[in-house]
């Protein structure tokens, strides 16, 4: 068995004498603990998000549209800002003259609700386009209140698709078949995935060119990212070789807290330039937009949240060049 030099327990003793007993561990005094906390605070005393800010090029004007780049917003942990980011990134891209299609691929229909659509009142949803040959994506399309942005809505019917697709041939390509005829009409397709790594999410990853991972700046959010990246790698190997991680998006960021700054620093250390420099801070404006049924770019156009999503849109466009 090889010895690991980095592990002191793996090193042999040079002689037969018994090693000296380690002194008993002493509890740290409150003063020592406070000093340790102060050193941690000094380590991230400045806002690490602001330190990464660099100029982002302005998007060029488009004179034609399509074919679309498909991006899946995915994280199996719920409540990290996937739906909010899908709506507001789409609206910001539309502001820059891009034609955008949003795909609500969560049976809860939160994306549809966030755009003022009542899912339970719909006769046709993305479920029908997936499961019925006679229904095309074009039949399900809805216009939104944002110029240049359309929606493929969803409701609870979509939960049945995960079971029904199991017996289908090429079940992982069902969403890609629906989106294929629509791609020439749009510049971006944004898929709001459900908070799981089931068959619906695999469909979204198979149809996508890139993945945006919204990540809440909270410690437990980091734990599930490895599992998601492992799933993305398997989809790359077996179903979609073109798939890549477009970027990690820090959400619910509060620069006033040491914890948020530490988590953000860890994310940057782990993923480097994959982390978008645009950071979505906590604000009461986002819950307000859900009630209003419109994106923050129109509800509070001059707010920091609206400007953050405009910066994110600039980064997404720049990374696609």
In a domain, 90, yes or no: yes
In a domain, 235, yes or no: yes
In a domain, 34, yes or no: no
pLDDT at position 167 is 86
In a domain, 1, yes or no: no
pLDDT at position 188 is 98
pLDDT at position 28 is 53
Q: Considering Cα of 294, then 298, then 300, then 305, what sign does the dihedral take?
A: positive
pLDDT at position 19 is 46
Tell me the C-alpha distance between 79 and 158, whole Å. 20
In a domain, 202, yes or no: yes
- Say how many C-beta atoms besides its own lie within 10 A of residue 142's C-beta: 16
pLDDT at position 70 is 98
pLDDT at position 44 is 58
Tell me the C-alpha distance between 149 and 186, whole Å. 9
Q: CATH number for the domain including 258?
A: 3.40.50.300
Mean pLDDT by 10 residues, the chain (321 residues): 42 41 54 50 72 90 93 91 95 97 96 92 94 94 95 95 90 96 97 93 97 90 82 94 95 91 91 94 84 88 94 94 72
Q: What is the pTM of this model?
A: 0.85
In a domain, 27, yes or no: no
pLDDT at position 226 is 81
Which residues span the domain enclosing 112?
64-320
pLDDT at position 21 is 52
126: nearest Cα among 160, 100, 149, 97: 160
- Say how many C-beta atoms besides its own lie within 10 A of residue 319's C-beta: 14
* Strand-pair category, 149-152 with 142-143: antiparallel
In a domain, 161, yes or no: yes
Q: How many domains does the chain have?
A: 1
pLDDT at position 100 is 98
In a domain, 14, yes or no: no
């Amino acid at each position: 068995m090889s010895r690991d030099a980095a592990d002191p327990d793996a090193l042999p003793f040079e002689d037969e004498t018994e090693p000296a007993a380690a002194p008993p561990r002493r509890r740290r005094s409150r003063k020592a603990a406070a000093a340790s906390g102060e050193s941690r605070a000094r380590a991230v005393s400045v806002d690490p998000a602001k330190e990464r800010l660099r100029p982002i090029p302005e998007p060029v004007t488009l004179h034609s549209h399509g074919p679309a780049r498909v991006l899946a917003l995915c994280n199996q942990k719920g409540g990290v800002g996937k739906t909010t980011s899908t709506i507001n990134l789409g609206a910001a891209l539309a502001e820059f003259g891009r034609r955008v299609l949003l795909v609500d691929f969560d049976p809860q229909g939160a994306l549809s609700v966030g755009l003022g659509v009542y899912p339970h009142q719909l006769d046709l949803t993305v479920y029908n386009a997936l499961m019925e040959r006679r229904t095309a994506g074009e039949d399900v399309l809805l216009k939104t209140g944002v110029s240049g942005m359309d929606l493929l809505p969803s409701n609870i019917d979509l939960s049945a698709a995960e079971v029904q697709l199991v017996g289908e041939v090429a079940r992982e390509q069902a969403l890609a078949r629906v989106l294929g005829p629509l791609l020439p009409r749009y510049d971006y397709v944004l898929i709001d995935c459900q908070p799981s790594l089931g068959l619906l999410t695999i469909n979204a990853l198979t149809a996508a060119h890139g993945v945006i991972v919204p990540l809440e700046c909270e410690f437990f959010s980091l734990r599930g990212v490895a599992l998601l990246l492992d799933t993305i790698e398997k989809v790359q190997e077996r179903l979609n070789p073109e798939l890549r991680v477009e970027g990690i998006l820090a959400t619910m960021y509060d620069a006033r807290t040491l914890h948020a700054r530490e988590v953000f620093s860890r994310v940057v250390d782990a993923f480097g330039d994959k982390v978008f420099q645009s950071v979505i801070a906590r604000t009461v404006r986002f819950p307000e937009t859900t009630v209003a049924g419109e994106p923050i770019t129109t509800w509070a156009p001059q707010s920091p949240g609206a400007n953050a999503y405009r910066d994110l849109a600039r980064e997404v466009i720049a990374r696609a060049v």
